Structure 1
Amino acid sequence: MHLKAHRFFAMVAVTGSFSATARHFQVPASSVSRFIAALEREVGQQLLYRNTRAVKLTDAGERYYLQIREVLELLDAADESISGKTGDIRGLVRINAPVAFAHLHIVRLLNGLHEQYPELTVELTATDAYIDPVQEGADITFRVGHLEDSGLIGRQICTQRYVLCASPDYLHRYGQPTSAQDLRQHCCLVYKGTGGAQRWHLRRPGSDTVEVVDVHGPLRSNNAQVLVEAALAGRGIVFFPSWLFSKHSFTSKALVQLLPDWEGAVEATPSQIHLLSPENRLRSQKVRRVWDYFLDAIGTPPYWDDLGA
């Protein structure tokens, strides 16, 4: 079977669209359909469900796609290596990131990536579920939190810097805390995930002692952005990593940083943000270029730490 049929099938599996695949390869949609139909006859299985609204993989198609995906990636890597086309970056790169991080940062960073590599196709999966990048076929994964030994190639982007803040309206009504223990008397907006409500760990300047504060307030949520919006509305104090905030919120004075000389986190040991990739994915020039692009665009320290506060 012609290799082109496999490439067309793999792209339809990713995009769910014959027309998008045709645009990507710059061929008529009828050609894509004809090649895939021939592939199905060759393997003796229906690989795709087709209807007027969507194209989906059958069970056999899902298994087949997972098997040929790695073969196509190895072929691409071999082509890159022997051709020496260092500036010709095209094809598909799969990226996985937590939902809020993808929404607040990855989407904007992808605009710059597209400008740099206009022939590159990106598949972004935003999920807070812990995935196995090898099984899920993710080329690059952003992981927020403590990194477990996974056998993946990892690069630390940063240690998360936590910011304590509230709106001017809230501070006008209730005043500013002057110490970690003062927070017990304030309205605190608390993240509550599967592990329960977070506790705030704060350390005063020059001290090695961490003060653990059980905070309370009028709102708890398992969605950090909900709590940030509540803080902007004057409902209380929030304590989150800097990447969850907009710089404009501080430069416009919609939020005011509190206890700015203190350090803190929601765990005894501050966690990091890492960039991860399976070793075989980084053999691909296009994946390495995307990896390097993100590291350069984010910077050290990361641009989101500059809140202008």
Structure 2
Amino acid sequence: MDLNALRVFERVAATGSFTATARHFHRAVSSVSRQIASLEESLGQQLLYRHTRAVTLTEAGLRYYQDVREILEQLDLATEALMAPDTEPSGVLRLNAPVAFGQRQIMPILHHFQQRYPAIKVELMLTDQLTDPVREGIDITFRVGELADTTLVARRLAPMNYVVAAAPSYLQHTGAPNTPDDLSQHNCLLYQGEMGRQRWYFYHPEQPQPITCKVDGSLYSNDAGSLVQAALMGQGFVMFPTWLIADELASKKLLPVLEAWRCEVAPGKRDIHVLYAQRRLHTRKVSVFLDHLFEMVGPVPPWDNWRERRLSGGSN
């Protein structure tokens, strides 16, 4: 059995695409197609249905994929365990994160990580769509907000601390709200994603139940960055986590309001988690990245120190 053919089949099955697989292995699509056809011929089984725009697994292909994926992972683990004591961590580390979180927070962490471990290459997939880490062959997945049931290990990385803020120019024109109810008289710029339009909840230390505010405004968007830009131009209030707007808060380009209240976009407290399969923790590339990640984030994430940066003039 050709081991390379099994690796090609695993990638086609995981991505549902000959093109993506060819790109992954830096080969021609026709070469990938021929290798899959040869594998099917040697097995005497059709493994894939070829459609115009996608590739799906047959019933036999699904069973074979599940077994092959497990075997390849075990082989990689065994190889790395044999070589690891005398070599620098290496290989390709595959990460998945939401778009804005990846751009704002994961990229700086990756920059330092790859300076520290130059032999590790990284594939960073940024998407706001929920992905199946096992099927996609992802080593580590970052999830923001609530977690669905999963067989993966889920480690809490940091809390989601939200802030309501607006540009100085907006506040000079309208004044700051004194209570969450006052926001009904303001222009609130709302994120609108797969879960619908953002809702704003407020918790006060003296009140156990949250206040649900009826907020509205002139702009809705599924792109958080666009809403931040609108707020910076003085269009209205946004409610976003500190990992997204810490720099703007530290530089006073956005000013926080209602700081006596804890604000959320859903009832309860939301967190950022890191997900990975337990067996992947035995690979050095995964274990050293997790160590580096938690070392850099620390007990208080760097994006939550915006108040201190603000007092010192906004420097990092």
TM-score category, normalised to shorter length: 0.7 to 0.9
| Contact 1:165–1:257 under 8 Å retained in 2 | yes
**What is the letter of the counterpart of residue 227 of structure 1?**
L
Unaligned 5+ runs, structure 2: 12-18, 43-53, 311-316
1:177 maps to what in 2? Answer: 177
Of the structure 1 ranges 198-207 and 163-172, higher mean CA displacement relative to structure 2 is found in: 198-207
Quick one: structure 1 residues 197 and 4, their matched pair in 2 at CA, closer, same or farther if it must change by over 3 Å? closer
1:145 and 1:112 mapped to 2: Cα distance? 26
Matches within 5 A, 1:17-32: none
| Contact 1:98–1:142 under 8 Å retained in 2 | yes
**What is the letter of the counterpart of residue 274 of structure 2?**
L
1:161 maps to what in 2? Answer: 161
**What is the letter of the counterpart of residue 280 of structure 1?**
R
Quick one: structure 1 residues 277 and 87, their matched pair in 2 at CA, closer, same or farther if it must change by over 3 Å? same
2:202 maps to what in 1? Answer: 202
TM-score, normalising length: structure 1: 0.79
2:300 maps to what in 1? Answer: 301
| Contact 1:101–1:244 under 8 Å retained in 2 | yes
**What is the letter of the counterpart of residue 171 of structure 1?**
L
| Contact 2:5–2:39 under 8 Å retained in 1 | no
2:70 and 2:305 mapped to 1: Cα distance? 40
Q: CA shift at 1:153, angstroms?
A: 0.5
Q: CA shift at 1:4, angstroms?
A: 7.2
**What is the letter of the counterpart of residue 291 of structure 2?**
D
Matches within 5 A, 1:75-90: 75-85=75-85, 88-90=88-90
**What is the letter of the counterpart of residue 172 of structure 1?**
Q
| Contact 2:84–2:284 under 8 Å retained in 1 | no
1:104 and 1:185 mapped to 2: Cα distance? 31
Matches within 5 A, 1:149-298: 149-247=149-247, 249-298=248-297
**What is the letter of the counterpart of residue 263 of structure 1?**
R
1:108 maps to what in 2? Answer: 108
1:16 maps to what in 2? Answer: 23
1:38 and 1:235 mapped to 2: Cα distance? 56
Matched, 1:129 2:125: no
**What is the letter of the counterpart of residue 301 of structure 1?**
V
| Contact 1:203–1:264 under 8 Å retained in 2 | yes
Cα-to-partner distance string for 1:134-188 (whole Å, 9 max, x where unaligned): 1221110001111122121110012210011000000000001111111111111
Q: CA shift at 1:207, angstroms?
A: 3.3
**What is the letter of the counterpart of residue 85 of structure 1?**
P
1:262 and 1:87 mapped to 2: Cα distance? 51
1:270 and 1:102 mapped to 2: Cα distance? 21
| Contact 2:165–2:257 under 8 Å retained in 1 | yes
| Contact 1:160–1:273 under 8 Å retained in 2 | yes
Of the structure 1 ranges 204-213 and 147-156, higher mean CA displacement relative to structure 2 is found in: 204-213
SS in 2 for 1:104: helix
| Contact 1:77–1:285 under 8 Å retained in 2 | no
| Contact 2:95–2:123 under 8 Å retained in 1 | yes
2:272 and 2:111 mapped to 1: Cα distance? 21
**What is the letter of the counterpart of residue 162 of structure 2?**
Y
Equivalenced residue count is 288
Quick one: structure 1 residues 77 and 207, their matched pair in 2 at CA, closer, same or farther if it must change by over 3 Å? same
1:271 and 1:18 mapped to 2: Cα distance? 38
1:194 and 1:254 mapped to 2: Cα distance? 29
Of the structure 1 ranges 99-108 and 5-14, higher mean CA displacement relative to structure 2 is found in: 5-14
1:295 and 1:152 mapped to 2: Cα distance? 18
| Contact 2:96–2:140 under 8 Å retained in 1 | yes
Percent identity between the aligned chains? 38
Moved over 6 A (4+): 4-13, 36-43, 57-60, 62-67
The two structures, once aligned, show a CA RMSD in angstroms of 3.4
**What is the letter of the counterpart of residue 303 of structure 1?**
P
**What is the letter of the counterpart of residue 23 of structure 2?**
G
